[in-house]
Amino acid sequence: MDFKTKLLAGTLLSTLMLALILFTSCSILLLGSYYFKYQVIKDRIAEKLDENMTAAITLALNDHQLYKEPYRDSALLFGNPGDSVYYKKTLWGLFPLAAIRVVSKQREKEKAFLYGASDHHLKNATLYLADHNRPLSLVGNTYIEGTVFLPKSGIRSGFFDQKGFSRKKLIEGTIDSSKTTLPEVNPVFTEQFQIFSKLISGTIQSLLLPEDKINSFLNPSIIYKANTWGVLNNRKLAGNIIVVGDSILEAGPKSQLENIIMVAPYIRFKEGFEGCVQAIALDSITIEKKCRLIYPSAIIGIGRDNVTGNMGSTLNICKESIVEGVVMSITGKGKTNIKPVINIEKEGIIKGLVFTTGNTYLSGTVKGAIYTDFFFEQRGPMSIENMLTDATIIKSNWYLWGNYFSLFKDAARQKVIKWLE
């Protein structure tokens, strides 16, 4: 092969290599440009979905109607047929629940959350004692602060069990007059309680309780039926789950419970339990010592409705236990043969709202607010009405930030309480 031929061959090879390099470079540039445009479009769609989700959440929170059963609706956002929202609203125990799905350019995003009203004309009240023409007596080291609503017969220092009142001031705050009845609970909650009663009676279909289960709040609720003695130890249950027992439900320190609802005639939390649950009982709920129920939890006694009269339930919060949320015991309308009772022992702490249409035995601490028909003080066989001994009721951000006021009629300004999986 002569020199000229070699030169031509080398030139051709160099040209091919240069062409290959140019082709590869152009391909990389084109792919990079495509990927960049894809990321821009993807980011724009993600931003649009976030914008749509914010608008959808605002839309849901601006609807103050509460629904005891799932209510579904949809709407166009910003008048654009390509941007739409689908949402479901219902009650999850004592807290409203919303599940939202937004769509933009055939992409979608979902969120679920609990929410509640943050404004009510009694939001600054720390104590509301219904007016049954009986004064409130304070004994020992009882401390009450904030705005209190008391019977017209007023408040006084008392003497009980060889003990008088030890403080200089009866109330560290302001006093207003209460009415003969407590603020009205939104009827949708009492209607929902009837649904829970039907769960116990077995008229609603349920499944056998598994060892472990997590169910998203974006899915339909799952109802599980426990055996006669429903022990939930060594079980992990989380999310959109209702556990029903026809006799007793029991959770202990090895129970892993998050955001579920428990329904039974009797419910017991064994010493050392910690979790976020809503417990709803016909007859009684007992929280043994050193338990912690994490916000937003709820302990609810709904009692039994009978032709001859209603029977209230009893809620016991033992020493060194903490409930972050709502403790509530009520009965249905009509004659009540047995009043509901809430008993908060010494060193028991409620961070949130206590509400009962019956009797409260308070030896512990309420950091928030308490609404009750009567207080009682018990020593052996002796019981005195509207007396507090060594009790503490104080203002707390736990209450003001808790957004509990959806429980009452005429509440306003709904806010997100907790984002859910």
Burial class (CB in 10 A: 0-12, 13-18, 19+), 43: exposed
Domain boundary assignment for the chain: 3-119, 125-412
pLDDT at res. 40: 54
| pLDDT one-digit tens code per residue, 104-124 | 877 889 999 999 999 999 999
Cβ count within 10 A of residue 348: 24
pLDDT at res. 400: 87
pLDDT at res. 41: 55
- Output the CA–CA distances (angstroms, integers) from residue 177 to 142, 149, 150, 155, 223, in the order listed: 20, 5, 5, 11, 44
Entry pTM: 0.89
Residue 258's nearest CA partner among 192, 224, 320, 212 is 212
- CB of 297 within 8 A of CB of 274? no
pLDDT at res. 24: 77
| pLDDT one-digit tens code per residue, 222-235 | 999 887 778 898 89
| pLDDT one-digit tens code per residue, 361-406 | 999 999 999 999 999 998 777 789 999 999 999 999 878 889 999 9
Residue ranges in the chain modelled with pLDDT below 70: 1-10, 12-13, 32-43, 79, 203-205, 307, 334
pLDDT at res. 167: 94
Beta-carbon contacts of residue 234 (< 8 Å; ≥ 6 apart) = 211, 254, 255
pLDDT at res. 5: 62
Q: Is the previous residue joined to 253 through a cis bond, with omega within 30 degrees of 0?
A: no
- CB of 219 within 8 A of CB of 238? no
Q: To which residue do tokens 């001859």 refer?
A: 308
pLDDT at res. 238: 97
Structure tokens at 332: 């249905």
Cβ count within 10 A of residue 242: 23
Half-sphere exposure of 242 (CA within 13 A, CB side): 21
Residue 420's nearest CA partner among 166, 241, 223, 232 is 241
| Sequence-separated contacts (24+) of 151-154 with Cβ below 8 Å | 151/177, 151/178, 152/177
pLDDT at res. 32: 65
- Output the CA–CA distances (angstroms, integers) from residue 214 to 217, 225, 231, 275, 285, in the order listed: 10, 16, 18, 15, 25
Tell me the sheet residues that pair with 138.
157, 388
